[in-house]
C-alpha cells in the first residue's frame, strides 16, 4: 500500500540510519514520495572529522595563485571550462567567486576561500576512498533501484563562512545525465547544516516534474546547455534540510534543490557522491569523462 501523495507534501522524511543500510519499506515509500530522505547518524562524528582533516591536508597542498591565474586570463571562458572539464578524474579546487579582495589577495584562509573540491577524490585519495565505499552505501543504492551502481563523481563542498555562495534551484540529473536517467545524490553533512550557514532546501515531491535542463554538454570543447522543459520550480514549497553532522541526505537526480548563502561565521562542510547505473547509456558528450587509466568503480 502506498501513502497518499498529500501525506508527504511539504515534508522531508527523516529517519535514523538503519543498521547495515537496510532500508525498511516505510523508508522506501517515503523516499519515493518525496524524492529525498535524511538518514540521521549515518556516518560517525569520527569519520566526519577524518574527512574534514584530510580535506584540510589537501587544501594545504593547493596553491590558489595557480587557480587565480587560470581564472584571470583574457581567454577566461576557455581556460576555466578546461579546468572544470578536466577535473573528472582529478582532485581540483574551485574558489568562491568572492574569494579575492580588490587587491587580488584572498579575503580569508585558503580553506575558507574554497567553494568545492572535485571530482575524483573517491578514487584517488585513500581516506576519501574508504569513506565512499561500503556495503551500506551499496545496499542503499541497490534498494533505491540502481542495479549496478558506480560512483561518477565526488565533491567536497566547503560553503565557507561569510562568503559561501547561494546555489540556485536545480536538479542534479542536469549535470549527471544518463539515458534513462539514473543519478542519485548521496550528501553527507560533515558539520551541522542549518539555515544560518547555508543548508540545502528541497521541494518535496518535485522530482515528479520534468528534467528542466541538460547542462555542461560538451560541444567543440565548450560547455552547452540544452533546455528540456521550461516548467518553473515551485520554490514556494521549498523546505529546509537542516541536519546534524553525520546525516546522509539521499535524493533523486530529478529532485529540485538549492542552498542558501553562508553569511555566518561557521563553515558548512559536506561531501557528496553521485551514483549512476552502469547499465544506462552514458553519453560521450557529457562533461565528465574518465580515461581508461581510472575506470569507474562501484560502491564496494
Positions that interact with Fe ion (CB under 5 A): 172
Instruction: Provide φ and ψ at 4, rounded to 5°.
Output: -60, 145
Q: Which is nearer to Fe ion, 110 or 205 (CB)?
A: 205
Task: Tell me how far, at minimum, the Cβ of 257 lies from Fe ion, in Å.
Answer: 6
Q: Which is nearer to Fe ion, 267 or 272 (CB)?
A: 272
Q: Which is nearer to Fe ion, 110 or 262 (CB)?
A: 262
The residue number with the shortest CB distance to Fe ion is: 172
Task: Tell me how far, at minimum, the Cβ of 286 lies from Fe ion, in Å.
Answer: 16
Residue written as grid cell 540529473: 173
Q: Which is nearer to Fe ion, 251 or 282 (CB)?
A: 251
Contact between residue 277 and residue 184 where contact means Cβ atoms under 8 Å apart: no
Q: Which is nearer to Fe ion, 132 or 259 (CB)?
A: 259
Burial environment of residue 198 by CB neighbours within 10 A (0 to 12, 13 to 18, 19 or more)? buried
The CB density around residue 14, as the number of other CB atoms within 10 Å, is 15
Contact between residue 17 and residue 40 where contact means Cβ atoms under 8 Å apart: yes
- What is the greatest pairwise CA distance in the chain? 62
Measure the CA angle with vertex 276, ends 155 and 293; round to 5°: 70
Task: Tell me how far, at minimum, the Cβ of 172 lies from Fe ion, in Å.
Answer: 5
Q: Which is nearer to Fe ion, 150 or 157 (CB)?
A: 157
In whole angstroms, what is the distance from residue 153 CA to residue 238 CA?
A: 26
Task: Tell me how far, at minimum, the Cβ of 11 lies from Fe ion, in Å.
Answer: 20
Task: Tell me how far, at minimum, the Cβ of 293 lies from Fe ion, in Å.
Answer: 28
The CB density around residue 226, as the number of other CB atoms within 10 Å, is 12
247: nearest Cα among 300, 199, 180: 199
Task: Tell me how far, at minimum, the Cβ of 80 lies from Fe ion, in Å.
Answer: 20
Task: Tell me how far, at minimum, the Cβ of 255 lies from Fe ion, in Å.
Answer: 9
Task: Tell me how far, at minimum, the Cβ of 230 lies from Fe ion, in Å.
Answer: 20
Q: Which is nearer to Fe ion, 33 or 172 (CB)?
A: 172
Q: Which is nearer to Fe ion, 133 or 254 (CB)?
A: 254
Strand partners, 194: none
The CB density around residue 258, as the number of other CB atoms within 10 Å, is 16
Contact between residue 297 and residue 229 where contact means Cβ atoms under 8 Å apart: no
The b/e string for 261-283 (b: 16+ C-beta within 10 A; e otherwise) is ebebebbbbbbbbbbbbbebebe
8-state DSSP, 149:
E
The CB density around residue 222, as the number of other CB atoms within 10 Å, is 12
Amino acid at each position: 500500500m502506498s501513502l497518499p501523495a498529500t501525506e508527504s507534501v511539504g515534508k522531508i522524511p527523516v529517519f535514523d540510519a538503519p543498521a547495515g543500510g537496510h532500508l525498511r519499506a516505510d523508508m522506501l515509500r517515503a523516499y519515493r514520495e518525496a524524492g529525498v530522505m535524511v538518514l540521521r547518524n549515518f556516518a560517525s562524528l569520527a569519520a566526519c572529522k577524518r574527512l574534514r582533516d584530510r580535506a584540510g591536508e589537501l587544501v594545504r597542498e593547493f596553491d590558489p595563485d595557480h587557480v587565480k591565474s587560470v581564472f584571470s586570463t583574457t581567454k577566461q571562458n576557455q581556460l576555466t571550462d578546461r579546468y572544470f572539464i578536466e577535473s573528472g578524474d582529478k582532485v581540483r579546487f574551485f574558489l568562491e567567486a568572492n574569494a579575492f579582495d580588490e587587491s587580488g589577495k584572498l579575503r580569508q584562509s585558503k580553506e575558507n576561500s574554497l567553494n568545492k573540491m572535485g571530482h575524483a577524490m573517491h578514487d584517488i585519495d585513500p581516506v576519501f576512498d574508504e569513506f565512499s565505499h561500503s556495503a551500506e552505501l551499496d545496499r542503499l543504492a541497490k534498494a533505491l533501484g540502481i542495479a549496478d551502481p558506480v560512483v561518477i563523481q565526488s565533491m567536497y563542498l566547503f560553503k565557507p563562512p561569510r562568503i559561501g555562495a547561494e546555489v540556485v534551484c536545480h536538479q542534479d540529473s542536469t549535470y549527471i545525465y544518463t539515458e534513462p536517467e539514473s543519478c542519485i545524490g548521496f550528501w553527507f553533512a560533515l558539520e551541522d547544516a542549518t539555515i544560518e550557514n547555508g543548508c540545502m532546501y528541497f521541494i518535496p515531491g518535485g522530482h515528479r516534474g520534468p528534467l528542466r535542463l541538460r547542462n555542461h554538454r560538451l560541444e567543440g570543447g565548450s560547455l552547452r546547455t540544452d533546455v528540456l522543459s521550461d516548467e518553473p520550480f515551485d520554490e514556494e514549497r521549498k523546505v529546509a534540510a537542516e541536519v546534524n553532522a553525520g546525516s546522509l541526505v539521499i535524493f533523486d537526480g530529478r529532485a529540485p534543490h538549492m542552498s542558501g548563502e553562508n553569511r555566518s561565521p561557521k563553515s558548512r562542510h559536506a561531501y557528496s557522491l553521485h551514483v549512476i547505473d552502469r547499465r544506462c547509456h552514458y553519453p560521450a558528450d557529457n562533461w565528465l569523462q574518465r580515461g581508461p587509466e581510472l575506470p569507474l568503480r562501484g560502491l564496494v
